[in-house]
Amino acid sequence: MERNITTADYLKAAEIMAGCNEKNIDLVVYFLNKGGLCDYGFMELVEKRKGEIKPEARGRKKVIDPEFMALLEKICEIDDGDLKIFSSAIGVQKSRVYSWMKGERGITEDNKKYITNIAESYLKGRKIAKAKIQEQIDAMKLK
- What tens digit of pLDDT does each residue of 60-113 get? 567 788 888 888 888 888 887 788 888 888 888 888 888 888 888 888 888 888
Q: Is the pTM of this model over 0.85?
A: no
Q: Rounded to the nearest 5°, which phi and psi values hold at 54?
A: -135, 135
| Residues 94 and 83 sit within 8 Å (Cβ to Cβ) | yes
Amino acid symbol at 53 = I
CA distance 120 to 75: 9
> Can you give the pLDDT at residue 81?
78
